[in-house]
Structure 1
Amino acid sequence: MNEVSPATQISEQVVLVTGAARGLGRHIAEAFLREGASVVINYHASAAAAKELAAAHPGRAVALQADVRDRAQVDELFAKASSAFGAPVSTVVNSALVDFSFDGNARPKAEDISFQRFNRQFEGAVGGALNVVQAALADFERAGHGRVINIGTNLFQNPVVPYHDYTAAKAALLSLTRTLAMDLGGRGITVNMVSGGLLRTTDASAATPQEVFDAIASGTPLGSVTTPEELADAVLFFASPWSRAITGQNLVVDGGLVLN
């Protein structure tokens, strides 16, 4: 069995964050930039927001468009990233969220949700993550190690609001996280997941009724709803040398709402 290669310090890494122009992805990108990493800000349609963030960090951030559901676009994304920084991508964070809003009681119910909605979420969460990981393997080999961090949810353990399609896709992503960890560990690549609950507040959770936030806060030991900044800090751990012996794990960051 090959020994897991030690990761470099975050400040020495090139990090790709998908869906990084807005919402949680933007907070994750900002956390890596704060720690000195070079960051690829991937976006699908939010060009202005992505370029604004990159412009605020000249020389250390680049905004690159790609639809993670399209493998050819993802391959081009990695080629441009390596060219921009003159170094391979060593960490990827799969945080892109495809066309979903946490809209509480307005969500499709069991009696009327279509499987097409499930397919849309599977294509984004699982298909997108698979495309990114496969495209990253050559860069990981050049770097001598790799870190994959997938963004999950606590809803498949505690479905306080049954977002059927989103939750099923994230549960499948957890399975992919674990099978990829087993398959890629011998190459010095770790694959982990960070799962938040409802976050206060991102673009996706902006439609959530206040009473849902209040109910979640009252059910946590900390008495609060987790913020995007708090979850982003947990993502940093899995990119750091401190996590070099951890793989295939799902860290729930939700103030203790779900206790593993």
Structure 2
Amino acid sequence: MELSEQIVLVTGAGRGVGRAIARAFARQGARVVVNYLHSKEAAEELVRELGPDKAVALAADVVDPEQVAAMFAAGRERFGGEIGTVVNNALADFSFDGDARPAAAAIRWERFRDQFDGSVRGAVNTMQAALAGMHALGGGRIVNIGTNLFQNPVVPYHDYTAAKAALLSLTRTYAADLGREGITVNMVSGGLLRTTDASAATPEAVFDQIAAATPLRRVTTPEEFADAVLFFASPWARSVTGQNLVVDGGLVMN
């Protein structure tokens, strides 16, 4: 299905990279469900920017399957069709501040639990809620948002990285299970992006070090990252599933 014909759900789209992804889809003519949990004002501002015919802001905690089901129902009612593309971007609150992170000897299991709930449990809920609509459409696209840190753990964010690694495994098992139904499941993984709310605590010197280590000699922006997400939702990726595309200026090559 062409991007302009799609109804897309982007979780955690009120701010950061999710906001850039929602903008990218709307720019291509898609209708976008802008999911948020706490960022109500930012999500509604984004909808005003994109236009009420192109976007709707819907609150839901993706960890709660009942709220997710209600969000899908509201999206169908608002746009008069099934959500055929899901971008799992939402995660539990996290700040990329390496100096403040808990070290291996001190990190508590509760931090892992919170990250697994946000990244894995939330993705399971949205993917399961999307399946009936995707079946009705004859197929669908799921794009999960990952990280390059489990390939290149330059800063050991133990909880966040472990949850995203689990999400990659889930991406591949869902891809294997759903491919026969015309549903592709892929991941787009970034490094540190310049700049989002989550990376705002990162010292400028760290950005400079990352830029110097990449072949492109710059840090990837949220907008550049969002463009790669569009690929997996587009007809050009119709035969691609179970893949993890790293978008970080070449810092990690695999």
How far does residue 229 in structure 1 lie from its aligned partner after superposition? 0.4
Pick one of 18, 35, 43 that aligns with 2:28.
35
1:178 alignment partner in structure 2: 172
Counting only pairs closer than 5 Å after superposition, residues 184-199 of structure 1 correspond to structure 2 as 184-199=178-193
The number of residues matched between the two structures is 253
1:193 and 1:248 in contact (8 A); partners too: yes
Distance 1:42 1:160 in 2: 31
- In structure 2, the partner of 1:49 is 42
Following superposition, the deviation at residue 52 of structure 1 comes to 1.1
Q: 1:243-254 counterparts in 2 under 5 A?
A: 243-254=237-248
Greater RCO, 1 or 2 (C-alpha within 8 Å, sep 6+): 1
| Structure 1: runs of 5 or more not aligned | 1-7
Letter in 2 for 1:189: I
Secondary structure class of the residue paired with 1:62:
strand
Cα distance between partner residues in 1 of 2:52 and 2:127: 27
Distance, in Å, in 2 between the alignment partners of 1:37 and 1:48 is 22
Identity %: 68
In the TM superposition, what is the alpha-carbon distance from 1:175 to its structure 2 partner? 0.2
Q: Which runs of 4+ in 1 moved over 4 A?
A: none
Answering whether residue 112 of structure 2 is matched by residue 118 of structure 1, we say: yes
The normalised TM-score by structure 1 is 0.96
SS in 2 for 1:155: helix
Asked if 1:232 is matched to 2:226, the reply is yes
SS of the residue corresponding to residue 156 of structure 2 reads: coil
Cα RMSD after superposing both structures = 0.6
Q: 2:182 and 2:115 mapped to 1: Cα distance?
A: 29
Q: Which residue of 1 aligns with 2:7?
A: 14
Structure 2 unmatched ranges of 5 or more: none
| 1:59 aligned onto 2:53 | yes
Aligned to 1:69, what secondary structure does the other structure show?
A: coil
